[in-house]
């Protein structure tokens, strides 16, 4: 019975990590999308401080592994959707 209990604990922790990484990815995309649509500086400040407050609350109320998975998901979202894109250069065919 102890083996089954240990396996279930590890499985639940792995699912928790995957869920927190998905939450970080989703929240990162949402904040970046709303930052692009924000028309005033105080809306940007509210979004930034809200995200910062959420991370601080997670430091207090979650485990370190879940927090790490969340921050990895958030960092991936920032790198994927937050980085500036290079403009595409279309080369014309020379005849």
Range of the domain at 27: 17-81
Asked if residue 9 belongs to a domain, the reply is no
Asked if residue 91 belongs to a domain, the reply is no
Q: Please report the pLDDT score of residue 85 as a whole number.
A: 80
Structural domains counted in the chain = 1
Question: Per-residue pLDDT tens for 21-71?
Answer: 999 999 999 999 999 999 999 999 999 999 999 999 999 998 888 899 999
Asked if residue 8 belongs to a domain, the reply is no
Mapped onto helix, strand or coil, the DSSP state of residue 53 is helix
Asked if residue 10 belongs to a domain, the reply is no
Q: What is the pTM of this model?
A: 0.79
Is the Cβ–Cβ distance between 27 and 54 less than 8 Å?
Answer: yes
Asked if residue 95 belongs to a domain, the reply is no
CA distance 44 to 62: 26
Q: Please report the pLDDT score of residue 84 as a whole number.
A: 80
Which whole number is the average pLDDT over 66-88? 89
């Amino acid at each position: 019975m102890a083996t089954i209990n240990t396996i279930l604990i590890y499985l639940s922790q792995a699912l928790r990590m995957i869920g927190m990484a998905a939450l970080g990815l989703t929240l990162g995309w949402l904040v970046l999308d709303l930052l692009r649509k924000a028309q005033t500086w105080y809306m940007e400040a509210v979004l930034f401080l809200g995200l910062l407050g959420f991370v601080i609350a997670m430091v207090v109320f979650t485990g370190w592994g879940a927090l790490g998975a969340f921050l990895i998901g958030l960092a991936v979202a920032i790198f994927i959707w937050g980085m500036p894109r290079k403009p595409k250069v279309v080369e014309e065919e020379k005849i």
